[in-house]
Structure 1
Amino acid sequence: MVAKKNGLSDCTLESVWSVYDVLFCEKMHNFCLPTWATTNVLAKLKKLMDFSFIFQFGIHERVKKARLQGGLLVNKILKNMMAKADNSTYDLKLVAYSTVSTTDTCSKCKGSHENTLGALQIALNVYNGQQAPYASCQIFELFEEDTRDFTVQMYFRNQSGETPYPVSLLGCAHVCSLEDFQDLLQPVITQDWGAEWQDIHFSKRKKSKGVM
């Protein structure tokens, strides 16, 4: 039905995402939705939308995918925190990361708010399985303790007017030492995105051609 109503010749998770995204935006801005976009249809599309994020960034070989997707942003965030911890003259107190192209390398990722945030949270292994709502953000706070050691705290702000929710890395408390935080995230960080992508791409091509 969705394919027919939208003139789609091929109904895939990606095309369903495109349809739901438009309907979601229209609904948020109080536009009239087409008559076929009932509450029941929207609920089913949302389930497919949420699944598409997990399918794209997780499920099978989550860590390997994260190294080529959300891990790029994780690496950028870690580098900025390490720079602050290692250099007392580093005067930036707030860093905001674009949801379209955080770095030259990250521009290779499909860019949008929900995609970038979903990829980041799945790389961190803290994704809650639902599309990120408007104005949501993942917050990282770096603290210098009285002992001169540095700690990291994470929060997820998913609704305006609500207090951000504390988020913890698997294997660390909410107040996590910067050293442990960095160590726990090393598996999702690549030092050479291009080379690693080519290795995976070539491996897939060999399998598809039946090369042993």
Structure 2
Amino acid sequence: MEKLIITKLFCILLVILCIQDCGTVNLNTLRLTNVLYRHGDRSPVKIFKTDPNTLSSWPQGFGYLSKIGMRQQYNLGKYFRERYNGFLNESYIFSEIYINSSNVDRCLMSAYSNLAGLYYPNSDEEWNTNITWQPIPVHTIPEPLDNLISLQRACPKYDQLYHQSLKSPVVKKEEIENKGFYEFVSQKSGQSKETIETIWQVADTLLCEQRHNKTWAPWVNNTIYNKLRDLEKWGFDLLFGGRTVSKLKGGPILGQIVNNIQMKIAGQLDYKMMMYSGHDTTVAALLNAMQVYNLESPPYTATVIIELHEENNQYFIYSYYKNNTWPNTTSIHNLTLPGCDFRCPVDQFIAITKDRIPVDWEKECSINQHGQNPVEFSKVAVTIMSILGGMVLLLTMIIFICQCRQKNTKTTKYSLLEENGYQDS
């Protein structure tokens, strides 16, 4: 009995130590932190045709940050304050933090809500006694130009690889196994044809309605809902599975973080925190590029933290994942990249992530109309040009020979005329 009690106490102690290790940070060695989080709770992006909850059920319309989401982000900002207080000044200093957001309203609003929790204005910073908030700049670019956070910049190679994955034997097998379920959902939801590519929309709508205590359509029960959510997760994994795909989607943000780290070590970066406000796709893409994705779609405010520490004149990377679950937790987990310890030397971290970061993203995203990459296309182009060059040379020689023969014929003709007494007048 005593041994059992001692064993239980030992296990509890290990859990406490793990929580402390994951939840605290040595500010004395910390030099830079990069944080990427998903926006907070939102209304559904769209609804299905037979949904009893219409547009009027959502005050701000579709895809907007809710009050719940604002509170979630505010609490996440307070968590950052607690974690980094003493590293980040309590008062906002523009040279300490840089905030970059997807140019989508819910992400921009999440960033502002987060900063309200991170920087509570003191008496010197108050500009209106009725508002305990101060404006802090959030930077963004249009979605069609953004391959870093919103991931909406066109990448034909990624599109090609994604659609190839949808035609893979594994997906075809899944579609056959769930054919009846897809047909059932299509009929009941009023959608044209549900597939693994589109089923997330129904699942996401039901999730949002559940979170906001709205009544589901009569055909939905917990069994159907859980099945939809499982398919959603599986379909979500198809978006970023594979080395090339994760490189094209998660590589740019990972490359930006690595660049931040290198600049900080070189003394070329003053900022102490680089903050990125994005989507579940952004978080999943980064985790995939880091090779630590656990096949779970990131929930609201899910956060990746990558810290740079200097210890005895050597630099190390500490990576964490704050995987918040509904309604809210403060859990944070260590992330260990394949081929490295949790306390990863910076050179090793850079070496491990190197082949997941594009050198020339636009070039690597390019394909021609036949689906070839630029290198393959250039080889074909050289071959074609060689053939065309040979044909032009041959045609030139034929024309030259014909002209010579025609000249000889003409000379012979005039010689015969002269012999018969005819002269040019």
On whether the aligned pair clears a TM of 0.5, the verdict is yes
- Unmatched tracts of structure 1, length 5 or more: 100-112, 205-210
Equivalent in the alignment of 1:125:
291
Partner Cα separation in structure 1 for residue 368 and residue 362 of structure 2: 10
Aligned length: 187
Deviation at 1:41, TM superposition (A): 0.9
Matched-pair contact (CA < 8 Å) for 2:306–2:320: yes
Q: Deviations over 1:62-87 (max 9, x none)?
A: 11111211111111111111111111
Equivalent in the alignment of 2:359:
191
Structure 1 SS opposite 2:275: coil
Equivalent in the alignment of 2:190:
7
Q: Deviations over 1:37-56 (max 9, x none)?
A: 21111111111111112212
Structure 2 residue 271 is matched with structure 1 residue 92? yes
Deviation at 1:200, TM superposition (A): 8.1
- The residue correspondences of 1:147-162 to structure 2 (distance < 5 A) are 147-159=312-324, 160-162=328-330
Partner Cα separation in structure 2 for residue 126 and residue 75 of structure 1: 16
Structure 2 residue 307 is matched with structure 1 residue 141? yes
Structure 2 SS opposite 1:96: strand
Equivalent in the alignment of 2:256:
76
Equivalent in the alignment of 1:56:
239
Matched-pair contact (CA < 8 Å) for 2:260–2:269: no
Partner Cα separation in structure 2 for residue 56 and residue 3 of structure 1: 22
Equivalent in the alignment of 1:105:
none
- Unmatched tracts of structure 2, length 5 or more: 1-183, 374-379, 381-425
Partner Cα separation in structure 2 for residue 41 and residue 13 of structure 1: 15
Distance 1:90 1:193, change over 3 A: closer
Considering Cα pairs closer than 8 Å and 6+ residues apart, tell me whether 1 or 2 has the greater RCO: 2
**Structure 1 vs Structure 2 CA RMSD:** 1.9
Amino-acid identity (%): 31
Structure 2 residue 334 is matched with structure 1 residue 179? no
Partner Cα separation in structure 2 for residue 169 and residue 129 of structure 1: 16
Deviation at 1:36, TM superposition (A): 2.0
Structure 2 residue 203 is matched with structure 1 residue 203? no
Q: Look at both structures and tell me which one has the larger radius of gyration over its CA atoms.
A: 2
Partner Cα separation in structure 2 for residue 48 and residue 35 of structure 1: 21
Matched-pair contact (CA < 8 Å) for 2:317–2:343: yes
Structure 2 SS opposite 1:156: strand
Structure 2 residue 212 is matched with structure 1 residue 29? yes
Partner Cα separation in structure 1 for residue 310 and residue 345 of structure 2: 10
Amino acid at match of 2:354: Q
Amino acid at match of 2:320: Y
Amino acid at match of 1:122: N
Q: What is the TM-score normalised by the length of structure 1?
A: 0.82
Equivalent in the alignment of 2:42:
none
